[in-house]
Amino acid sequence: MAAAEAEMVSSLIADTASDAAGTAATTVAAAAAAEVAARTSSQAQVSKSALAAKLLSLSGVFAVHKPKGPTSAELLNRLKGKLLAEAGMPSPEWNKRQKQTLKIGHGGTLDSAAQGVLVVGIGKGTKMLTSMLSGSKKYIAVGELGRATDTLDSTGKVTDEKPYDKITQEDIEGILQKFTGNIMQVPPLYSALKKDGQRLSTLVKRGEAVEARPARLVTVYSISLLRFQPPLFTLDVECGGGFYIRSLVNDIGRELSSCANVLELTRTKQGPFTLEEHALPEDRWTIDDIAQSLEHYTSLLPDELASKKSKSERSSDQVLSCEYITLNGTKREEDSVKTL
């Protein structure tokens, strides 16, 4: 009897010791897990801080691929959001440092229906956008004969329809020379040009009376007909700043005793940036990808522009065609030269 009781007591002691050991092991494991989590969190914070610092140090000009749909300003806001999210900004730590701002601007507006190269300046690179605007641009434009719209493209209301069945490829090729070189062009009413600080397109949409802007001197370096499948015709155009492809297609339609509007428009080149080689698609809108692009952009710029970079960065009186975006909001700057 005594032996049985002793054995029972011994078993209880062993079970208690086992439970205590298990509890201790669980406590140690929990503490270790908490330490790992804390270390991971700390490392993540350090990583985010490093990314934020890297983002704010970026400076220069690069190109992104703008798809159809968003406006240039909307695309810029999307880019800003991706970069800030990747860097974990803005956080209370960064908000306290009011001098730390992310400045981004775009040079040369593309309308929502257009796609292609959109040049972006970041940091001090926003001071170089004016030079991008004055450089050459290349477009592939698909025009539609026989139909005119109030916006001069397919997004507008039809204002006129005329026959086009007698127009031949030779007819189109024969008039293109008239639109080459230094020519006078009337910009469209639906444009980013401004009157009293407001865009003409905004005023027109409100139903306000807006007078057509006077014709101005623009430059077309080359223009060729790539294909003609009535009523569609495709043009390859290289032009200077301030040139509107919509006005060109509209004028071509009139010259052919018909009418026309832009059905599709793709900017394939702006300055030294080409769509195929340099424009970053949205899945590459990361801090590292942009940093790599900025490392190469100087070699793409003309020598005279690259040599004047520091001077441009110091200039404070340049008028830029862009949206300035900081961590504290968006500030719209006066538009200088717009294309499309």
Q: Enumerate the active-site residues.
A: 111
Residue 332: partners with Cβ closer than 8 Å, 6 or more residues away? 323, 324
Q: Which residues contact 340 (CB under 8 A, 6 or more apart)?
A: 109, 110, 111, 114, 244, 245, 246, 265, 267
H helix runs in the chain, sequence order? 2-57, 72-86, 92-95, 129-134, 169-175, 200-205, 245-255, 287-300, 303-307, 309-314
Pairing of strands 194-195, 147-149: unpaired
Partners of residue 274 on adjacent β-strands: 269
Whether the CB-CB separation of 225 and 248 falls below 8 Å is answered with no
Angle at 16 (CA atoms; ends 11, 18), nearest 5 degrees? 95
**179 vs 251: CA distance, rounded Å:** 9
Residue type, 8: M
Q: Residue type for 51, please?
A: L
CA angle at 139 for the pair 135 and 140, rounded to the nearest 5°: 170
Residue appearing with tokens 């730590």: 93
Residue 34 identity (one-letter amino acid): A
Maximum Cα–Cα distance for the chain, whole Å? 122
